[in-house]
Chains A and B, each alone.
Chain A
Amino acid sequence: MNKRLLSCLVVLLLFSGITSAQISVSGRVTGAEDEPLIGVSVALKGTSQGTITDFDGKYMIDVPSSSSVLVFSFLGYKQQEVTVGSSRNISISLAEDVSALNEVVVVGYGTQYKKDLTGSISKLNSETFEFQPLQSLENAIQGRAAGVFINSGSGKLGQAMNVRVRGQSSVSASNQPLYVIDGIPVVSESIGSATEPDNPLASLAPEDIASIEILKDASAAAIYGARASNGVILVTTKSGKAGKTRVNLGFYTGTSSPTRKREWLNAAEYRELFQYAAENSDFGVFDGAEEFEANTGTDDWNSTNDTDWASEAFQTGGVNNLNLNISGGDAKTTFLISGTYNDQKGILIGNALNRISGRLNLDHKVYNNVKIGMNLSLVKSLNQRVPSDNAFTNPLQLNALPPLQPKIDPATGELNQNTLYYNNLIDLVNGYNNATTYRSISSVFAQWDITKNWSFRSEYGVDWVNLQEDQYRGRETLDGAPTGQAFNSQATVINQNVQNYFSYNNDFSDNLNLTATVGMQYLDGVNTSTSATGEGFPNNKFTKIASAASIIAASTFESRYAFTSYFARVNARISNKFLVGLSGRVDGSSRFGVDNRFGFFPAVSAGYILSEESFLKDNSTINFLKLRASWGKTGNAEIGNFASRTLWGANFVGNVSGIIPTQLGVTNLTWENTAQFDIGIDFGLFNDRISGSLDYYQKNTNDLLLNLPLPATNGYTIITKNLGSLENKGWEVAITSQNLVGKFTWSTEFNISGYKNVVTNLNGSTIDGGARQMGRISEGEPFGYFYGPKYAGVNPANGNAQYEATDGVVYDQDDFTSLPDSLRNQKVGDPNPDFFGGMNNRFSYMGFTFDVQLQYVFGNDLYNIAGFFQSVNGDYFDNQSRDQLDYWREEGQVTNIPEPRLYSGNGAIKSSRWVQDGSYLRVRAVTLSYALPRNFSKRAKLDNATIYVSAQNLFTFTNYEGYDPEVNATYTGNVNLGHDFYTPPQARIITVGFNASF
Chain B
Amino acid sequence: MKKFNIILFAGILVFASSCIKQLDIEPLQSIDASQALESGEDIESAIVGAYGIMHGGALYGTNLNLIPELLGSDNYLLWRGTFQSYRQIMNKSVFIDNAEASRTWIQGYRAINIANNVLANLAKVEDVDQRSQLEAEARFIRGIMLFELVRIYGAPYDAQGSNSGLGLVLNLVAVDTEAEASVEGSRSTVAQTYAQLIQDLEAAEPNLPDSYSGNNRFRATTYAAKAFLARVYLQQGNYAAALAKANEVIESGNFELNPAIVAAFGNKFTSESIFELYNNDQNNAGTANDGLTTFYASLPGIGRSDIRVLEAFANQYESTDDRRSQLIYRGSGARPNQLQNGKYTNFGQNIPIIRISEMYLIRAEANIRLGSALGAEPLQDINTVRERSRATTLTAVTLDDVLKERSFELAFEGYRIHDLKRLKLGTGTFAWDDPKLVFPIPEREIRANSNLQQNPGY
Contact = CB atoms under 8 A, between A and B. Distances in A.
Instruction: Report whether chain A binds chain B.
Output: yes
Contact of B52 (A450, A645, A652, A717): A652
Contacts of B28: 558-560
A715 B113 contact: yes
B301 A658 contact: no
Nearest to A11: B1
Given A649-B30, A709-B448, A660 B109 contact: no
A664 B174 CA distance: 13
Where chain A touches its partner, the secondary structure class is strand
A661 interface: yes
A957 interface: no
Interface centre among A520, A560, A641, A648 (most CB of B within 10 A): A648
B428 interface: no
12 contacts: A481-B301, A498-B15, A500-B15, A520-B12, A520-B16, A646-B33, A647-B32, A648-B36, A649-B31, A652-B283, A658-B46, A660-B46
Given A559-B27, A711-B452, A719-B178, A552 B281 contact: yes
B47 A658 contact: yes
Interface string A545-577: 000001011000111111110100000000000
Contact of A714 (B51, B113, B278, B300): B113
B1 A450 contact: yes
B50 interface: yes
Interface residues of A, number: 59
A706 to B, nearest CB: 13
Interface of A: 450-451, 456, 481-482, 498, 500, 520, 522, 524, 550, 552-553, 557-564, 566, 588-590, 597, 641-642, 645-664, 666, 709-717, 719
B448 A712 contact: yes
Contact of A482 (B19, B32, B185, B301): B301
Where chain B touches its partner, the secondary structure class is helix
A717 B27 contact: no
Given A553-B282, A653-B55, A660-B52, A566 B106 contact: no
Interface string B25-43: 1011111111010000010
Contact of A649 (B5, B22, B29, B447): B29
B72 to A, nearest CB: 26
A571 to B, nearest CB: 22
B180 interface: yes
A573 B215 CA distance: 76
B: interface residue count bin: 35 or more
Contacts of B301: 481-482
A209 to B, nearest CB: 31
A498 B278 CA distance: 51
Interface in B252-291: 278-283
B310 interface: no
Interface centre among A456, A589, A649, A656 (most CB of B within 10 A): A656
Closest A-B pairs by Cβ, 7 of them:
A715-B113, A658-B48, A658-B49, A654-B278, A649-B30, A651-B52, A648-B36
A369 B245 CA distance: 91
B50 A660 contact: yes
Contact of B171 (A498, A713, A719): A713
Nearest to B184: A711
Contacts of A552: 281-282
Given A711-B184, A715-B114, A562 B22 contact: yes
Interface of B: 1, 4-5, 8, 12, 15-16, 19-20, 22-25, 27-34, 36, 42, 45-53, 55, 105-106, 109-110, 112-114, 116-117, 169, 171, 175-178, 180-185, 215-216, 218, 278-283, 300-301, 350, 442, 444-445, 447-449, 452
A482 B300 CA distance: 9
B181 A715 contact: yes
A905 to B, nearest CB: 13
B175 A715 contact: yes
A660 B52 CA distance: 9
A653 B31 contact: no
B137 to A, nearest CB: 11
Given A641-B27, A712-B448, A713-B169, A664 B50 contact: no
Given A654-B215, A664-B181, 17 more contacts: A520-B12, A558-B29, A560-B25, A588-B20, A646-B33, A646-B34, A653-B283, A654-B283, A657-B45, A658-B51, A661-B110, A710-B448, A711-B185, A712-B105, A716-B110, A716-B175, A719-B178
A456 B12 CA distance: 11
Contacts of A647: 27, 30-33
Contacts of B48: 653, 656-659
B52 A658 contact: yes
Contacts of B444: 709, 712, 717
Given A664-B178, A712-B448, A715-B109, A656 B16 contact: no
Nearest to A716: B181
Given A456-B8, A641-B27, A653 B52 contact: yes
B46 A659 contact: yes
A154 B116 CA distance: 49
A43 to B, nearest CB: 22
Contact of B448 (A481, A550, A711): A711
Nearest to A655: B215
B380 to A, nearest CB: 35
Given A481-B301, A564-B16, A716-B181, A656 B216 contact: yes
Nearest to A522: B19
B346 to A, nearest CB: 13
Contacts of A660: 46, 49-50, 52-53, 110, 114
A590 B447 CA distance: 33
Nearest to B447: A709
Contact of A666 (B27, B175, B178): B178
Nearest to B52: A651
